[in-house]
């Protein structure tokens, strides 16, 4: 007997059923609540900094990613850009259009929203949609985002006005949480305090200011204003564990996998390779889902589905 096991499943509804389980080292769980999908950034994804009017910097600011300005075309202060700078060109213009789409997507979500207000400092939050009609801040302590072992967990923070962190505050990722899965939709402007350590993509309707020596694992994307930088380091995050299959909301098929390859869930056999650590995958569909098999070759795998 070899160490390859097959799960055969048929999900007649989006909630689905696993009909057969043939590997002892595997656990299959059903999401009890709605799972937030990633915010689609489109062509804005490669940009660590995007402004509408101008980007101002005080040396030595480093951006590990692209920088764009549109419809403006000015960057001051000679930042170190480990990527490409787009000043008033079609690439920056398209990134602004895609930022608007992403901003509206994040702002328009309502399902299973959790109302928050004021200071998030000192709290530990699970993945989900968090909303405030006014401002949010991280001031009285650090904010911890805990994925509880699921690196595909997504956080979306909606706020009607400002986002502010005070000096030295941190956004701490735990339990496999990833900066690539954290989104801040800011109704007006964002200010990241000096020496703060911030995580996630900031999408501000107006401007973004990063004070002295603040760092960002994420993106500073401003729709209508400027981005002001002061000896900062900004690094575009990279997801380290893929969502295996995530279908479009209204498309019957074919679907795409995490690499953007087209697949047909009715006929495709998915092989998960052996790995030294637990692998997490989520099968998602907003329509009826039928699969013939999932092949798992050893290793510890957790599959969630909804």
pLDDT tens track for 101-113: 999 999 999 999 9
Confidence of residue 283 (pLDDT cuts 50, 70, 90): low
pLDDT at 223 exceeding the cut of 70: yes
pLDDT computed for residue 36 by the predictor: 87
pLDDT computed for residue 234 by the predictor: 98
Q: Using alpha carbons only, how large is the chain's radius of gyration in Å?
A: 21
Yes or no: say if 235 and 228 are a contact pair by the CB < 8 Å rule. Answer: no
Looking at every residue in the chain, the average pLDDT score rounds to 78
Cα gap 289→15, rounded to integer Å: 9
Q: Could you tell me the residue ranges of all domains in the chain?
A: 4-37+243-305, 42-235
pLDDT computed for residue 218 by the predictor: 97
pLDDT tens digits for range 190-202: 999 999 999 999 9
pLDDT at 299 exceeding the cut of 50: no
Answer yes or no: pTM beyond 0.95. Answer: no
**103 φ, ψ to 5°?**
-60, -45
- The CA distances from residue 43 to 97, 101, 105, 136, 141, in Å, are 9, 11, 15, 28, 34
Q: What is the mean pLDDT of residues 6-11?
A: 33
pLDDT at 247 exceeding the cut of 70: no
Confidence of residue 256 (pLDDT cuts 50, 70, 90): very low
Cβ neighbors of 31 (< 8 A, separation 6 or more) are 304, 305, 306
With pLDDT > 70 as the criterion, what percentage of the chain qualifies?
Answer: 67
pLDDT tens digits for range 43-99: 999 999 999 999 999 989 999 999 999 999 999 999 999 999 999 999 999 999 999
With pLDDT > 90 as the criterion, what percentage of the chain qualifies?
Answer: 62
pLDDT at 171 exceeding the cut of 60: yes
Tokens standing for residue 10? 């048929």
pLDDT computed for residue 293 by the predictor: 54
Cα gap 243→40, rounded to integer Å: 14
pLDDT tens digits for range 114-157: 999 999 999 999 999 999 999 999 999 999 999 998 888 999 99
- State the sign of the Cα–Cα–Cα–Cα dihedral 70, 64, 161, 180: positive
pLDDT computed for residue 138 by the predictor: 98
Cα gap 69→93, rounded to integer Å: 8
| Consecutive H or E run containing 297 | strand 293-297
């Amino acid at each position: 007997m070899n160490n390859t096991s097959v799960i055969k499943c048929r999900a007649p509804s989006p909630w689905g059923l696993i009909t057969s389980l043939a590997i002892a080292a595997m656990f299959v769980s059903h999401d009890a609540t709605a799972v937030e999908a990633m915010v689609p950034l489109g062509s804005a994804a490669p940009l660590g900094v995007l402004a509408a009017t101008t980007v101002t910097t005080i040396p030595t600011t480093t951006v590990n990613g692209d920088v764009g300005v549109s419809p403006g075309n000015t960057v001051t202060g000679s930042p170190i850009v480990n990527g490409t700078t787009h000043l008033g060109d079609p690439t920056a213009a398209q990134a602004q259009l895609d930022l608007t789409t992403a901003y509206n997507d994040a702002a328009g979500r309502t399902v299973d929203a959790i109302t928050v207000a004021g200071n998030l400092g000192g709290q530990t939050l699970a993945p989900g949609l968090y909303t405030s009609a006014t401002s949010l801040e991280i001031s009285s302590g650090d904010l911890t985002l805990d994925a509880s072992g699921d690196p595909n967990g997504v956080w979306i923070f909606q706020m009607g006005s400002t986002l502010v962190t005070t000096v030295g505050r941190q956004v701490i990722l735990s339990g496999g949480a990833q900066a690539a899965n954290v989104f801040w939709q800011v109704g007006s402007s964002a200010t990241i305090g000096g020496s703060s350590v911030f995580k996630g993509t900031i999408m501000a309707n107006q401007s973004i200011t990063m004070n002295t020596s603040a760092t960002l694992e994420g993106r500073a994307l401003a729709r209508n204003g400027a981005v002001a930088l002061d000896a900062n380091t900004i690094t575009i995050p990279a997801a380290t564990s893929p969502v295996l299959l995530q279908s479009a909301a209204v498309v019957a098929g074919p679907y795409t996998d995490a690499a953007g390859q087209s697949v047909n869930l009715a006929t495709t056999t998915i092989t998960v390779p052996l790995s030294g650590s637990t692998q997490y995958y989520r099968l998602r569909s907003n329509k009826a889902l039928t699969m013939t098999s999932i092949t798992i070759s050893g290793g510890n795998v957790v599959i969630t589905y909804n």
